[in-house]
Amino acid sequence: MKKIKICILLVISLFELTSCALESEVYDSINGSIFPTTESDAEALVTGNAYSVFMNNGYDGMFNVATGVLIVSDLMSDYGECTWRGWEPILYNRWTVGNGYNDNHWRWAKYMGKMTMTIDRIENMDLSEELKTRYLAELHCARGWLAFCMWDLYGPIPIADIETLKNPLEEKIIPRLSEEEMQNFIVTELTEAASNLPYSYAKDNENYGRFTKGLCNMVLLKFYMQTKQWAKAEALGKELTKSEYGYKLEPDYTSIFKLANEKNTETIWAVNCLRGTQVHKWHPHVLPNDFPGTETLTKWNGWKISWDFFDTFEPGDKRLETIIYSYTGVDGTVHSEENDKVSSDKLLYYGAIPCKYDCYDFSGTLGEDSETDYIIYRYADAVTLYAEAMVRNQNIITDEALYWFNAIRKRAGLSEYKKSDFTDTRDFLDKLLLERGHELFFEGCRRQDLIRDDSYVEAIKHKCQVAGQTTLVNENYERIPLPQSVINEGKGQIEQNPGY
């Protein structure tokens, strides 16, 4: 298949269970002698339940451009800005219980039960051992990945076992896992999946877009980095550089995000988009309404890179070609940092435009919908994490760490560093942290980077100071609060995150 089409069928789920196992809806009953019985049934079952949460289809899916976890994570970072007022709780980390923003992300937790039920169904199907093993691995990858995303935002969550899921009418409160249990769950699921999935799929393979060993190890790499298990992170980073995976840095940064270069060798995993299947809304969320040459596109002038962060880019950085920081509007108005920072009613008052996808070439977008594949993880992210892990683990600037750091700078058209350019390992890590910010803006990495570096709180305080905003941020705000409804339904067995 050219693209994976997510089909969510009524018959796929016997019921949907809330993450606290307090409410259930019976959608239908399944006749086991009719469905699922065939290989095509199994594929529909796995595709519908392992992949449907990881979509970016309009406003659906955990990776949607409006409220998805990658976008919101970067808005919560030191450079995320937005023209639309009302997003201040996210932008300046003024989280409060029940403000609605934190509730939005909790909805993805319900898919964990669907994945667990599907594992049980697949295990009891008469399939070839090879196919059953792959489908089960994809489901375990999905559970581990979803668990990591939820843990990253909320911390441990309730995860119901199969016995509880098979008795949805029995009122039972599922408490949150402990931190140790949650971390073990993530590692176990992803490790098991990685051992039974192919390294990657070639772009002409009919299974391109399905989960792979490369994806599992990328998520594990991020997990080990966030838990500061530097030796394990270094080992996984090195693993991902093996030729078996087939990953390479693309020579041209801008081409990575273009329709014409989908499925490039730098992509570890992307949401497969295609008109009539799933499309995303990148351009309406970033383009200002008077941007020239886009008269047929929808434009809402939303997400921005703060001017404070934008000014840290070096002159001549080729990655600036994917950022619109100066343009002449259709009415002749010249927009720039200098011209628009004078008043909040100016289109670029809050920052520059992170165009990134198909910048200045919008042939893949129709109205407000783009069919350009939406990249979730790529090789540049992996190798810079690998470089960081090496230095943190060995407490020296290794030749290989410097090689990967410079590979990213060289592609960006910047001068390469020598070891003598760094005063110590801390200086290396500071420079690498900034480099990752320039390389991976609006790819969902910056908040995690700052938290891992123990510089998140100070970075957000600085952001608020520059923006003239009050701040509530402290170390507790590295995670967001659980919805109040979850606490209420938990009846004392589900505790709120500290500090809320």
Write the pLDDT tens digit of every residue in 182-205: 999 999 999 999 999 999 999 999
Q: Are residues 300 and 440 in the same domain?
A: no
Contacts of 350 (CB under 8 A, 6+ apart): 81, 82, 83, 304, 306, 307, 344
What's the average model confidence in pLDDT over 37-57?
Answer: 95
Which pLDDT value is given to residue 1?
A: 39
Look-up: residue for tokens 């109040």? 484
* Measured distance CA(354)–CA(287) in Å, rounded: 9
Q: 265 in a domain, yes or no?
A: yes
Which pLDDT value is given to residue 218?
A: 99
Q: Are residues 351 and 386 in the same domain?
A: no
What's the average model confidence in pLDDT over 252-258?
Answer: 97
CB neighbour class for 43 (10 Å; exposed up to 12, middle 13-18, buried from 19)? middle
Q: 340 in a domain, yes or no?
A: yes
Strand, helix or coil at 365? strand
pTM of the model: 0.93
Angle at 374 between CA 314 and CA 100, to 5 degrees: 95
What CATH number should be reported for the domain holding residue 394?
1.25.40.390
More confident site: 1 or 108 = 108
Indicate the DSSP class of residue 421: G
* Measured distance CA(446)–CA(474) in Å, rounded: 17
Q: 57 in a domain, yes or no?
A: no
Q: 166 in a domain, yes or no?
A: no
Q: Are residues 255 and 385 in the same domain?
A: yes
Select the highest-mean-pLDDT range: 29-43, 47-61, 163-177.
47-61
The answer to which of 6-20, 373-387, 398-412 has the lowest mean pLDDT is 6-20
| 81 DSSP β-pair partners | 304
Give the CA count within 13 Å in the CB-facing half-sphere of 135: 28
Which pLDDT value is given to residue 34?
A: 61
Q: 312 in a domain, yes or no?
A: yes
What's the average model confidence in pLDDT over 18-25?
Answer: 33
How far apart, in Å, are the Cα atoms of 142 and each of 13, 288, 392? 16, 36, 29
Q: Are residues 243 and 383 in the same domain?
A: yes
Q: Are residues 339 and 355 in the same domain?
A: yes
Please report which confidence band the pLDDT of residue 99 belongs to, taking 50, 70 and 90 as the band edges.
confident
Q: Are residues 381 and 264 in the same domain?
A: yes
Give the CA count within 13 Å in the CB-facing half-sphere of 232: 15
* Measured distance CA(173)–CA(323) in Å, rounded: 48
What's the average model confidence in pLDDT over 314-335?
Answer: 98
Q: 112 in a domain, yes or no?
A: no
What percent of the chain is modeled with pLDDT above 70? 93
pLDDT at 151 over 80: yes
Instruction: Report the candidate in 30, 31, 4, 38 with the shortest Cα–Cα distance to residue 128.
Output: 38
Q: Are residues 366 and 289 in the same domain?
A: yes
Instruction: Report the candidate in 137, 234, 248 with the shortest Cα–Cα distance to residue 195.
Output: 137
Contacts of 366 (CB under 8 A, 6+ apart): 275, 296
Which pLDDT value is given to residue 455?
A: 98
Domain boundary among 323, 347, 372: 372
What's the average model confidence in pLDDT over 138-162?
Answer: 97
Q: Are residues 440 and 321 in the same domain?
A: no
351, 341 in Cβ contact below 8 A? no
Domain boundary among 318, 351, 372: 372
Please report which confidence band the pLDDT of residue 31 belongs to, taking 50, 70 and 90 as the band edges.
low
Burial 127-164 (b: 16+ CB within 10 A, else e): beeeebebbbbbbbbbbbbbbbbbbbbbbbbbbbeeeb
Indicate the DSSP class of residue 266: T
Instruction: Report the candidate in 475, 494, 472, 473 with the shortest Cα–Cα distance to residue 483.
Output: 494
Which pLDDT value is given to residue 5?
A: 44
Q: 232 in a domain, yes or no?
A: yes
- For β-strands 303-305 and 334-336, DSSP reports them as unpaired
Containing structural domain, residue 336? 282-372
What's the average model confidence in pLDDT over 219-243?
Answer: 98
Please report which confidence band the pLDDT of residue 294 belongs to, taking 50, 70 and 90 as the band edges.
very high
Please report which confidence band the pLDDT of residue 27 belongs to, taking 50, 70 and 90 as the band edges.
very low
pLDDT averaged over every residue in the chain: 92
What percent of the chain is modeled with pLDDT above 90? 88
The answer to which of 20-29, 106-115, 251-260, 365-374 has the lowest mean pLDDT is 20-29
Q: Are residues 295 and 356 in the same domain?
A: yes
Q: 250 in a domain, yes or no?
A: yes
* Measured distance CA(417)–CA(428) in Å, rounded: 10
* Measured distance CA(71)–CA(91) in Å, rounded: 11
Domain boundary among 332, 354, 372: 372
pLDDT at 23 over 50: no
Q: Are residues 412 and 445 in the same domain?
A: yes
Q: Are residues 266 and 295 in the same domain?
A: no
* Measured distance CA(70)–CA(89) in Å, rounded: 16
Q: Which spans in 227-373 are helix H?
A: 230-240, 282-286, 307-310, 337-340
- How do the residues of the chain divide into helix, strand and coil, expressed in percent and rounded to 5? 45, 10, 45
Contacts of 292 (CB under 8 A, 6+ apart): 327, 328, 329, 330
Q: Are residues 383 and 266 in the same domain?
A: yes
pLDDT at 408 over 90: yes
Instruction: Count how many domains the chain has.
Output: 2
